[in-house]
Amino acid sequence: MKEPNSTTDPIGQNLIKLISNVCFSVFVFTVLVITVIAITYQPPDPWESSRALTRVFTDVENATFQIDTSVLKTGEDLGMVASSPAAAPGEADVEPSDSQNEPVVQNPEEKGLNLSSVTCDDSRLVNCSDRGVLMAIKRFNLKHFKSIVFLDYQPPVNGSNANECDVSWRFRNRKEKSWRRYRDFRRFRIGYTDDCSYKIVAARGWHSGVNARRPRTRFNATRSDRTARISPSYRDDDINDTIPVLGSDLAFRNGKYLYYSRGGDYCKNMNHYIWSFLCALGEAQYLNRTFVMDLSVCLASTYTSSKKDEEGKDFRFYFDFEHLKESASIVEEDEFLKDWKRWEKNHKKKIPVRKVPTYKVTPMQLKRDKSPIIWRQFDTPEPENYWYRVCESRAANHVQRPWHALYKSKRLMNIVSEISGQMDWDFDAVHVVRGEKAQNKEMWPHLDDDTSPDTLLAKLQGIVQPWRNLYVATNEAFYNYFDRLRSHYKVHLLDDYKELWGNTSEWYNETTVLNGKPVEFDGYMRVAVDTEVFYRAKTQVETFYNLTADCKDVTFYEIKSDLLFVSRTLSISSAS
């Protein structure tokens, strides 16, 4: 048998391997070339110009319909999005506005313009209704007002001059726990960026965009109003201070009520009043009854200019009655007594009443009482006749004070927003307690010196940056006491904003309509506004934490909602 040729077989095998490797290499190279061509090749786009677009839709053979030459060409058709200021970049960064329509842009070819030579002309007038204007304003606001939550915008309108737009929006403050909305309207000067999108050239201050201001419901002035020279009155449609009524005898008879007669709490300081009032409201909720509420408040002498207790103040001057109505079951005392009297007159059978002469009868003992009216009477001497005594001892485990039901008056909060807005929400604040405490060297030996102008300036320089807006919340009566600070800061005091409650202000007009006569902006209102502005500052300097080592002498209550008196605000309240 013949042996195979050992020298030729390896040569054949190597040749086959070489050919296969070459073919594989050619294949791989071809695939790479095709891939590169597929990635880099751009075929002609029939949509890239208005002429090609027109040809696509008009070059039809044997068409049985007429071509509509009146179809308006827009920026999308022309591929000219970049040349339209309406197409503002970064719109995903702001919330959309459903009220805005996309703008219509004319075809530059219809004006004889060369598409390749269109440039941005800064002299063009701005159309405030363009969507891009609103988008530019939104981005500006989000960048500059970090402490504000913007809720909704109204469409911009023309300002007083060319390229000025006024816009209104509603907002809330991040530090405010309630979801109440406030309104601002400002004027913006609009320009163009290099890519012809809109930008904000300048922005004016709080309530400057008067053309975007929402008109208010106007009242007809009465003769007494004209005699007193009261400016035209307007109603804030966001405030509903109306007193609820039962409407019929049947509705009154089917209700269950908790009625408190006046006790020793009347004419006490406001913190005492609130503590007692919320105890009564909490018992009504525990008993599942409607609370009969007296809207008349007696303001203690510490808050009045006469230094005497003043009766006849309206609860609605200080607190949000609308929110209270929504949060708790209440009926106004005069309406309740009127319905009760009418029932007694029209029906022989009287309504059963459970009279409770002492606070020692606990809410737990009244839980199963079926009487339509439970009437707590506080006729004993002080302190046995304080309302809050009802919620002491074992009752404290059952009756919860509904702090969530009590908000500050929105009229006062509008002033707070106005002051903060005039400082563009970018300010620091210091709380300076003086008054009687600074004079009482026995209890506060260092307070007077620690709050003197020179000492105050030295301490603030280590905390607050120079030339910042500095709001001073204080009970110091001498206005020029803080002039020493003006060489280093832009100092703001509450009295710098007197026009916000003067006889031409919205607050003055609205409270006059509510009260029937002009209302004094009293000491407690000053405390409430001062405190709320203070707690909207970026840096907050407290008297008894930062300025002096002297101790407070006030017991504070812990509160879990947006209230007029909270643990941190009582320091200012007690100082007044």
Q: How far apart are CA 541 and CA 522, in angstroms?
A: 25
Residues 261-284 have a mean pLDDT of 96
Query: Which of 11-20, 108-117, 206-215, 508-517 has the highest mean predicted lDDT (pLDDT)?
Result: 508-517
Cβ atoms 331, 369 nearer than 8 A: no
Identity at 24, one-letter amino acid code: F
Does the domain at 410-575 match CATH 3.90.550? Answer given as no
- What pLDDT is recorded for position 567? 36
Determine contact, residues 246/339, Cβ cutoff 8 Å. yes
- Distance of alpha carbon 528 from alpha carbon 569, whole angstroms: 8
The structural domains of the chain, with segments of one domain joined by +, span 81-212, 249-405, 410-575
Residue 66 clears pLDDT 50, i.e. is over it:
no
On the question of a cis peptide bond just before residue 103, with omega within 30 degrees of 0, the verdict is: no
Residue 536: Cβ within 10 Å count: 21
Q: How far is Cα 405 from Cα 558, in angstroms, rounded to an integer?
A: 15
| DSSP count for the chain of H helices, then E strands | 17, 18
Q: What's the rounded Cα separation, in Å, for the pair 40 and 462?
A: 62
DSSP, collapsed to helix, strand or coil, labels residue 182 as strand
Closest CA to 487 of 452, 453, 463: 453
Residue 49, pLDDT > 50, answer no
- Pick from 98-107, 246-255, 347-356, 447-456: least confident: 98-107
Tell me the average pLDDT across 53-80. Answer: 35
pTM for this prediction: 0.69
Residues near 402 by beta carbon (within 8 Å), at least 6 away in sequence: 278, 281, 282, 285, 327, 328
Question: Rounded to an integer, what distance in angstroms lies between the CA atom of residue 449 and that of residue 164?
Answer: 51
120-169 residue pLDDT tens: 666 678 889 889 999 999 999 998 888 888 988 999 999 988 889 999 99
Average pLDDT over residues 522-546: 94
What pLDDT, on the 0 to 100 scale, is given for residue 43? 54
**How far is the C-alpha of 152 from the C-alpha of 5, rounded, in Å?**
93
Cis peptide before 215 (omega within 30 of 0): no
Q: Which residues of 245-270 are buried (b: 16+ CB within 10 A; e: fewer)?
A: ebeeeeebeebbbbbbebbbbbbbbb
Of residues 54 and 253, which shows the higher confidence score? 253
Query: What percent of the chain is modeled with pLDDT above 90?
Result: 54
Q: Name the band, by pLDDT with cuts 50, 70 and 90, for residue 553.
A: low
Judged against a pLDDT cut of 70, whether residue 564 lies above it is answered with no
Task: Say what the pLDDT of residue 236 is.
Answer: 63
Lowest mean pLDDT among 60-74, 243-257, 515-529: 60-74
Token pair listed for 496: 């710098």
Residue-wise pLDDT tens digits, 364-409: 999 999 999 999 999 999 999 999 999 999 999 999 999 999 999 9
Position 2 pLDDT exceeds 50: no
Which residue has 């009418």 as its token pair?
342
> Is it the case that residue 72 has pLDDT exceeding 90?
no
Q: How confident is the model at residue 566 (pLDDT cuts 50, 70, 90)?
A: very low
Looking at residue 460, its pLDDT comes to 96
217: Cα separation from own chain's centroid: 22
Read off the tokens for 435: 């008054």
pLDDT at 29: 80
Asked if residues 415 and 500 have their Cβ atoms less than 8 Å apart, the reply is: yes
Least confident interval from 273-277, 290-294, 438-442 = 438-442
Predicted confidence (pLDDT) at residue 479 exceeds the cutoff of 90 = yes
| pLDDT score of 88 more than 50 | no
DSSP 385-430: T-GGGGGSGGGGGT----GGG--B-HHHHHHHHHHHHHTTT--EEE
Q: CA–CA separation, 546 vs 523, rounded Å?
A: 25
Contact indicator for 484, 442 with CB cutoff of 8 Å = no
Local confidence band at 249 (pLDDT 50, 70, 90 cut-offs): confident
pLDDT at 452 over 70: yes
Indicate whether 563 pLDDT > 50: no
Q: Which two tokens stand for residue 547?
A: 């300025």
Q: What angle, rounded to 10 degrees, do the helices at 523-534 and 410-422 form?
A: 50
Task: Provide the token pair at 50.
Answer: 């208005």
Cβ burial, residue 419 (10 Å; 0-12/13-18/19+):
buried
Question: b or e along 72-86 (b: 16 or more beta carbons within 10 Å of the residue's beta carbon)?
Answer: ebebebbebeebbbb
Q: Categorise residue 280: left if φ over 0, alpha if ψ from -120 to 50, beta otherwise.
A: alpha
- Rounded Cα distance, 196 and 85, in Å: 5
Separation of alpha carbons 414 and 532, rounded Å: 11
Q: Model confidence at 488, in pLDDT bands (50, 70, 90)?
A: very high
What residues have CB less than 8 Å from 110, skipping those under 6 apart?
73
Residue 562 pLDDT = 35
pLDDT of 102 higher than 90: no
Helix (H) or strand (E) run with residue 472 in it? strand 469-474
Structure token digits, residue 237: 């449609």
CB contact set of 220 (below 8 Å; sequence gap of 6+): none
Q: How many residues does the chain have?
A: 576
Phi, psi of 158 (to 5 degrees): -65, 140
- 167-179 pLDDT, tens digit per residue, is 999 888 887 777 7
When computed from its CA atoms, the radius of gyration of the chain, rounded to whole angstroms, is 37
What pLDDT score does 9 carry?
60
Residues 6+ apart with CB under 8 A from 148: 141, 171, 172, 173, 174, 425
Q: How far apart are CA 421 and CA 426, in angstroms?
A: 9
Q: Which of 429, 410, 475 is nearest to 147 (CA)?
A: 429
For residue 198, the surrounding DSSP H or E stretch is: strand 198-203
Residue type, 335: E
Q: What is the mean pLDDT of the chain?
A: 79
The pLDDT of residue 418: 93
Cα-flanking dihedrals φ and ψ of residue 240, to 5°? -120, 95
Q: Output the 3-class SS for 113-126.
A: CCHHHCCCCCCCCC
3-class SS of residue 27:
helix
